[in-house]
Chain A
Amino acid sequence: MRRRVARHAPLVLVVAGVAALPLVVTNNYYLDSLIVIFFWGSMAAAWNLVGGYAGQLSLGHTAFFGIGAYTSSILFARYGLTPWVGLLAGAVLAAAFAVFVGLVCFRLRGPFFALVTIAFAEVGLITASSLRDLTKGTEGFNIPFRPAFENMLFRGKVSYFYLFLAYAVLLYVISRAVERSRLGYSLVAFREDEEAARMLGVATVRVRLIALGASAALTAVGGTLYAQYYQFLDPASTFGINFSIQVALLTMVGGIGTAVGPFFGALLMTPLGQFFRAWLGGGAAGLYLALYGIALILVVLFLPHGIVPEVRRRLGRRPYGEEADDAA
Chain B
Amino acid sequence: MLLELAGIGKRFGGLQVIRSMDFGVDAGEIVGLIGPNGAGKTTIFNLVMGVYRPDDGRIVFDGHDITRVATEDICRRGIARTFQVVKPFGNLTTWQNVMVGAFLRMRRQDEARAWAAETLKVVGLWPRRHDLARGLTIGLRKRLEVARALATRPRLLLLDEVMGGLNPTEVQGMMALVRDVRAQGVSVLIIEHVMAAVMSLSDRIVVLHHGEKIAEGPPAHVARHPDVVQAYLGEEHLLA
Do residues B91 and A327 form an inter-chain contact, with CB atoms below 8 A? no
* Interchain CA distance A40-B205 in the complex, whole Å: 61
Which one of B49, B74, B83, B100 has the highest number of Cβ atoms from chain A below 10 Å of its Cβ? B100
A interface residues with partner B (beta carbon < 8 Å): 180-182, 185-186, 188-189, 192-193, 195-204, 257, 318-321, 325-328
Kindly list chain A residues whose C-beta atoms are within 8 Å of the C-beta of B174: none
Query: Are A200 and B75 neighbours in the complex by a CB distance under 8 Å?
Result: yes
- The answer, yes or no, to whether B27 is at the interface (CB within 8 Å) is no
Complex Cα gap A249–B107 (Å):
33
B148: CB under 8 A from chain A? yes
Q: Are A185 and B96 in contact (CB under 8 A)?
A: yes
Q: A192 — nearest CB in chain B belongs to which residue?
A: B89
User: Bound state CA distance, A321 and B91, in angstroms?
Assistant: 10
Query: Which residue of A185, A189, A318 is within 8 Å of B130 (Cβ)?
Result: A318
Chain A residues positioned under 8 Å from B92 (CB to CB): 188, 192, 318, 320-321
A192 touching B90, Cβ below 8 Å: yes
Q: Given A182-B109, A318-B93, A326-B113, A199–B103 Cβ distance below 8 Å?
A: no
Q: Which of A200, A319, A326 contacts B104 (CB 8 A)?
A: A200
A182 & B113 in contact (Cβ 8 Å cutoff) = no
* CB < 8 Å neighbour of B132 from A193, A198, A318: A318
- Bound-state CA distance A262–B194 (Å) is 48
List 17 other contacts, CB 8 Å, given A197-B100, A200-B101: A180-B109, A182-B103, A185-B112, A188-B91, A192-B88, A192-B91, A196-B89, A200-B75, A200-B148, A201-B72, A203-B72, A318-B96, A319-B132, A320-B91, A320-B92, A320-B96, A321-B93
A24 to B89, CA, bound (A): 47
Is the pair A195, B87 in contact by a Cβ cutoff of 8 Å?
Answer: yes
> B113 touching A327 by the CB < 8 A rule?
yes
Give B67-105 as 1s and 0s: 1 = Cβ < 8 Å from A's Cβ atoms: 000011111100011010001111111011001110110
Cβ-defined partner of A185 (8 Å) among B49, B88, B91, B100:
B100
User: B76 touching A201 by the CB < 8 A rule?
Assistant: yes
In the complex the two chains form, is B81's CB within 8 Å of A199's CB?
yes
Q: Does B114 contact A (CB under 8 A)?
A: yes
Q: What residues of chain B lie closer than 8 Å to A202, measured between beta carbons?
A: 72, 100, 104
- In the complex, the chain A residue whose C-beta lies closest to that of B126 is A328
Q: B123: CB under 8 A from chain A?
A: no
Minimal beta-carbon separation of B72 from chain A (angstroms): 5
B151's nearest neighbour on chain A, judged by CB, is A200
**B233, chain A: closest CB distance, angstroms:** 35
What are 6 A-to-B residue pairs whose CB atoms are below 8 Å?
A185-B103, A188-B91, A192-B91, A318-B130, A319-B132, A325-B113
Closest to A180 in B: B109
**How many A-B contacts are there with CB distance less than 8 Å?**
89
B149 within 8 A of A: yes
What A residues does B66 contact at CB under 8 A? none
A257 — which chain B residues lie within 8 A by C-beta?
91
* Inter-subunit contact A328/B117 (CB<8 Å): yes
Chain A residue, CB-CB nearest to B107? A182
**Which residues 111-132 in B have Cβ within 8 Å of A in the complex?**
112-114, 117, 130, 132
Chain A residue at minimum C-beta to C-beta distance from B76: A201
Distance in angstroms between the alpha carbons of A107 and B47 in the assembled complex: 21
User: Which of A185, A199, A319 makes the CB contact (< 8 A) with B71?
Assistant: A199
Given contacts A182-B103, A185-B96, A185-B99, contact A193 B80 (CB under 8 A): no
> Does residue B235 face the partner (Cβ distance < 8 Å to A)?
no
Q: B110 an interface residue at 8 Å Cβ cutoff?
A: yes
Q: Tell me if B187 is interfacial: C-beta within 8 Å of chain A.
A: no
Cα–Cα, bound, A203→B114 (Å): 22
The answer to whether the Cβ of B152 comes within 8 Å of any Cβ in the partner chain is yes
* B112/A182 in contact, CB under 8 A: yes
| Chain A to chain B: the 10 pairs with minimum beta-carbon distance, closest first | A201-B75, A192-B89, A196-B87, A201-B104, A182-B103, A189-B100, A198-B71, A193-B87, A201-B76, A198-B72
| Cα–Cα distance between A211 and B112 once the two chains are bound (Å) | 21
**Residue pair B80, A186 in contact (C-beta under 8 Å):** no
Complex Cα distance A188/B99, Å?
12
Q: Are B110 and A327 in contact (CB under 8 A)?
A: yes
Contacts of B117 in A (CB 8 A): 327-328
- Taking CB atoms, residues of chain A closer than 8 Å to B112 are 182, 185
Report the minimum CB–CB distance from B30 to chain A (whole Å): 20
Question: How far is the CB of A48 from the nearest CB of chain B, in Å?
Answer: 15
How many angstroms between the C-alpha atoms of A193 and B92 in the bound complex?
A: 11
Closest to A313 in B: B132
Please tell me if the beta carbons of B96 and A193 are within 8 angstroms of each other in the complex: no
Specify which chain A residues have a CB less than 8 angstroms from the CB of B100 in the assembled complex: 185-186, 188-189, 197, 200, 202
Of listed A182, A203, A257, residue having the most chain B CB within 10 A: A182
Inter-chain contact A321/B96, CB cutoff 8 Å = yes
Q: Check A199–B49 contact: CB distance below 8 A.
A: yes
A145 to B130, alpha carbons, bound, how many Å?
54
Chain B residue nearest to A203 (CB atoms) is: B72
Interfacial chain B residues near A328, Cβ < 8 Å: 117
Expressed in whole angstroms, the Cα–Cα distance for A328 and B49 within the complex equals 34
